Structure 1
């Protein structure tokens, strides 16, 4: 492999506020031959996700932050092109955490075989991957979803939110989602099959709009946005309601910390449960999720929507689109 070259995206500097293209750099390196127990993977698809914004900051978190001058990491799917491990053969498709590069060379233990017969391989970065599992964990374990619950999902047309909406509908729930465009709201109604969709950019007072959508109150809030969305949800939560705190994308680029919801005291008055979670702490649910999600996909009851940027060199642009709301469903980069 010594003659093969691989492009990779590195963190050039740490952003303050909203990142831009100058915080990334493209480099080219040789692809080394695999050692004993290692494989070489030609990446075909990679994921960009909001959580990566936190990894660009040098602060304690649930994972090691990206290092300035080093290649970034993230979820990817590719094909094995060389193997010195009995676990994988050339031609196998695998999922792994060595994205942001053309080729990945690493011990086989860090890779997981995926079945292209179940769904297109890029689905294992979205509906059948971590975003889908995140939706499942948040609803089933954190929010303890019950059949027939009234469910409010923010960022409902995103990678996680769109799956959360459809999983809840599959259990007979009344589901309302928020999104940032009429096109996204139409997809949520016509394809995802939810009961109501709110365009938070045009609906006026969000708390009032959420109240109209939930005349009997909210049992479960799957929170991806925070800020005014969390305030609105809190105002309309039923007694003993549950809030799964999955993301706070409205605050990820704040230079100074945002104040907490002014109505948080409602959590006490209404005996609410608010719990944050990180999907990596709940991987025991993956077999259960794959069985349920796979069955829904085969039955046509779990629809996928993806936004694709072509070329590794455009990965930073794809990442930045997450914060302007330009992604529709899962944001992916098609590398090859």
Structure 2
């Protein structure tokens, strides 16, 4: 994959004329059996759609590929139809006053180069000086909002409390560390899937200690990393990681359960943690949540994060893959753990990534 640091601050496109213009969508053609492969997808080219009254034609310029897409491949995604996902686009033709031409939008009609949207299907993006547009798919988007909700609402992190984060080198994992540090967290402990990622977490992201979960039982690694236990956990994995988090939790600890990557490719879901009753014995609170239930906190996230981005205290952890034709490779690479931070796909046109 063609990867480079994400330093873009704006997006401009040259749409040309409608005559002869085409649009491309990505469709899923079959259900996966275990880890998905590229032959489960196809790129379909067609005529550029025209907006009807009350809609706007949007040219997409940034696409998010996320772990939840793998779960949707098992049934939620319709076969032989365009897929969906968080996307940033620019309005290039409008018949809706609420969506003026040139406006930048966040919407969910992703995995395609163009989309026709109603105003209720998109959100106008604010412009923040010095903040790259792609940040709205990372720290200012669903990824960052997930970490923010996990820490402030579910885990209710207090200054000085120690935090364990699973899948710590991914988008949510890096955002959790960055936001947690700004909120005054104590020791940050993370798990990752390779020695290189472990080093990245401690040398660049701000984790105090990290371990490779391939090196042995997670419960042993976490116990060694946090012999006095942890106050808060943000779990993105489930399975063995969740069991280890429960074992390492102090009395009255809180666990924010974000996802269950461990079961996405498994023929059978991993067994439930064998120590669930410890939640009762030690008054531990385990709570799962979906970020889509917290859109009312979006402005609060902006108010918190944007000044820190502008000051440099909140770095943007992202792997940017260039070219819409690479979106399937980027998705599969994200599932294999090839990204550091949020995996984002950007349009290939040089002028679109200025």
Same fold by TM-score greater than 0.5? yes
Shift of 1:197: 1.7
1:18 is aligned to: 35
What number of residue pairs does the alignment pair up?
329
- Moved runs in structure 1, 4+ residues, more than 3 A? none
**1:88-127 maps to which residues of 2 (within 5 A)?**
88-114=99-125, 115=127, 117-127=129-139
Is 1:276 the counterpart of 2:293? The answer is: no
Which secondary structure state, in structure 1, belongs to the residue aligned with residue 256 of structure 2? Answer: strand
1:306 is aligned to: 318
Tell me if the contact between 1:10 and 1:68 (Cα under 8 Å) persists in the aligned partners. Answer: yes
Work out which of the residue numbers 62, 66, 69 in structure 2 matches 1:49. 66
Structure 2: distance between partners of 1:157 and 1:300: 20
Is 1:149 the counterpart of 2:161? The answer is: yes
Work out which of the residue numbers 195, 204, 207 in structure 2 matches 1:182. 195
2:87 is aligned to: 76
Distance 1:5 1:119, change over 3 A: same
Shift of 1:172: 1.8
Q: Structure 1: where are the runs of 5+ without partners?
A: 59-64
Structure 2: distance between partners of 1:333 and 1:172: 32
Q: Structure 2: where are the runs of 5+ without partners?
A: 1-17, 349-354
Tell me if the contact between 1:242 and 1:272 (Cα under 8 Å) persists in the aligned partners. Answer: yes
Is 1:37 the counterpart of 2:70? The answer is: no
Shift of 1:2: 5.9
Q: Which has the higher contact order (CA 8 A, sep 6+)?
A: 2
Per-residue CA deviations over 1:217-236 (Å, capped at 9, x if unaligned) read 11111000122211221111
Structure 2: distance between partners of 1:235 and 1:148: 20
Shift of 1:32: 2.0
CA RMSD of aligned residues (A): 1.6
